[in-house]
Amino acid sequence: MVHYRRNWIPGGTFFLTVALADRRSSVLADHIALLQMAFRNTKNLKPFAIDAVVILPEHLHAILILPPSDADYSGRWKSIKAWFTRGVVAIGEAPPRDHRGEYLLWQRRFWEHTIRDDQDLERCTSYIDYSPVKHGLVSTPAAWPYSSLHRYVRAGLLPADLGGLGGDDSGHFGERED
């Protein structure tokens, strides 16, 4: 078995990418309310803060901040995936199963990057904001409805139209090159 090296830092801030097994699917955006419920239920059991997030049709990016004595971002993703999968199954859209009977909705692994400093946080947040544009879903970041960008615009921390700023497209943050 492969043992992945993860950076376990209690109270850390982590950029994470989680993807569906079927990268042609749109189930995340199609069932955004179920995903929000999965996040809420997980936060109630295992607290964390979301600094930035974008939900795309078949994957999502998020920056999570964990409590000071906790480094278990992996357990949180497992919980979010499980809640969402149960919700999808409950509405009758059950994904296929493997030979063990497990649903094949999510990729088994996820990508994680430890945020090192304010500049790194800004770079990762910019990547999240511009991800819908990068994937050709919209022409400006503010046009994508499933992004924490809107929270920062409402708070007056970011301008409503980021289209002219240009995004930071350096790095791929766990995404597959198409």
List pLDDT tens digits, range 138-165. Answer: 999 999 999 999 999 999 888 887 764 4
CA distances from 98 to 37, 103, 159 (A): 26, 6, 46
Active site residue 4: no
The CATH class given to the 13-154 domain equals alpha beta
CA distances from 40 to 37, 144, 160 (A): 5, 21, 27
Question: Structural domain boundaries of the chain?
Answer: 13-154
List pLDDT tens digits, range 27-70. Answer: 999 999 999 999 999 999 999 999 999 999 999 999 999 999 99
Find all residues with CB under 8 Å of 178, minimum gap 6, and list them: none
Task: Give the pLDDT score at 12.
Answer: 96
Active-site pick, 73, 127, 130, 146:
146
Place of tokens 């949180």: 76
* Neighbour tally for 134: CB within 10 Å: 14
Q: Per the structure block, which two tokens stand in for 125?
A: 């947040």
Model pTM score? 0.87
